[in-house]
Amino acid sequence: MTDVRARRTGRPPLTDRATLLAAARDIGFADLTVGTVTAKVGVKYSTFYRHFASFEALLCAAVDDALAGATFPEPAQPWQEHLARTSAAVFDLLRRNPGLAQAVVALPERPDRLVTLFRQITEVLLEAGFDGKDSVLGATGTLELGIMPWIDGPGPAPGGVAGPEQARVGPEPLDDRVRQAIASCVEGPPRRWNADKVDLLVEGLEARLQRDLTAADQT
C-alpha cells in the first residue's frame, strides 16, 4: 500500500521574491516600504524577510530592476552628443520613476548599471583626448546633472512648485537679472534646464581640452 504521506510536498509558499519585486515595481519608489509591499501581496513581515534580508535589499533589487529596463545611448563620438544624450536619458528615467533618485542616493553602493554608464562616458572622453581627471569630472558631472534635479522631492517636477515664487520674492538680495533667469529656468521645461546645464559642462570641457592640446603643441 502506498504511503500517502510520502507524496505530500508540504504547504505551497505564500509568495516568492519575484512577486514581492513586482509589487514594489507597481507601488513605485516614492511610496515603497516593507509595509506597502506586504500589504499589496497579502503576506506578513516574516514572509517578506524570508526573501529579502532588509528593506535596503529590496530597494537595491528594485533599483537594479528599474535600471535594467531602461535604455541608454551606446558609447559613441562625438563625445558632446554622448554626454548630452546620456544625461537626458538618466533625467527621463528618473522623471518616469518618482523617488528613484532618492533610492539611488540612499544605497551604500552605486548600482552596477550606473557604474557601467560612468565607465562608458570616461572611455568616450578618453578616446576624445581628455586626460583621466577631466574624463572623471565629465562623467561625474553628466550623471549628476541628470540625477540632482530630482533629489529635492519625489514628485513629478524637479525643484518643487514654489521654485518660481521663491526666486521672485525670496529674502536674498539677488540681482533682478538673476531672479528673472531663475524664474524662467524653473518655469520652463525641466528637461531644457537640464540640457542647458549639460551644455555648460560640455563647453567647459571643450575649453579645457583645447587648452591642453595647445600646451602639448608648445612643448
Does residue 136 share a domain with residue 44? no
Does residue 210 share a domain with residue 126? yes
Q: Could you tell me the CA-to-CA distances from 174 to 15, 163, 197 in Å, in that order?
A: 57, 15, 20
Kindly state the cell numbers that stand for 102: 532618492
Does residue 89 share a domain with residue 113? yes
Range of the domain at 21: 13-65
Q: How far apart are CA 177 and CA 90, in angstroms?
A: 30
Does residue 61 share a domain with residue 31? yes
| Residue 151 forms part of a structural domain | yes
Does residue 208 share a domain with residue 129? yes
Does residue 148 share a domain with residue 104? yes
Does residue 118 share a domain with residue 58? no
Kindly state the cell numbers that stand for 54: 532588509
10 — alpha (psi -120 to 50), left (phi > 0) or beta?
A: left
pTM of the entire structure? 0.81
Would the pLDDT of 22 be above 50? yes
Mean pLDDT over the full length of the chain: 86
| Residue 104 forms part of a structural domain | yes
Kindly state the cell numbers that stand for 83: 554626454
Q: What is the DSSP code (8-state) at residue 155? A: S
206 — alpha (psi -120 to 50), left (phi > 0) or beta?
A: alpha
Would the pLDDT of 88 be above 70? yes
Q: What angle do CA 41, 24, 144 make, to 5 degrees?
A: 170
Would the pLDDT of 193 be above 90? no
The pLDDT, as a whole number, for residue 28 is 95
Does residue 42 share a domain with residue 24? yes
Does residue 128 share a domain with residue 39? no
Q: How confident is the model at residue 4 (pLDDT cuts 50, 70, 90)?
A: very low
Kindly state the cell numbers that stand for 136: 572623471
| Residue 7 forms part of a structural domain | no
Q: How confident is the model at residue 117 (pLDDT cuts 50, 70, 90)?
A: very high
Q: pLDDT tens for residues 54-83?
A: 999 999 999 999 999 999 999 999 999 999
Does residue 126 share a domain with residue 27? no
* pLDDT greater at residue 179 or residue 209: 209
Q: How far apart are CA 53 and CA 115, in angstroms?
A: 24
| Residue 118 forms part of a structural domain | yes
Question: Residue 168 half-sphere exposure, CB side, CA atoms within 13 Å?
Answer: 10
Does residue 89 share a domain with residue 141? yes
Core vs surface per residue 133-170: b (16+ CB within 10 A) or e:
ebbebbbebbbebbbbbbeebbeeebbeeebbebbeee
Kindly state the cell numbers that stand for 160: 518643487
| Residue 189 forms part of a structural domain | no
CA nearest 208: which of 132, 142, 148? Answer: 132
Q: Give the chain's domain count.
A: 2
Residue type, 178: V
CATH assignment of the domain containing 47:
1.10.10.60
Residue 78 CB contacts under 8 Å (≥ 6 apart), including other chains: 128
Does residue 55 share a domain with residue 82? no
Q: How far apart are CA 169 and CA 166, in angstroms?
A: 5
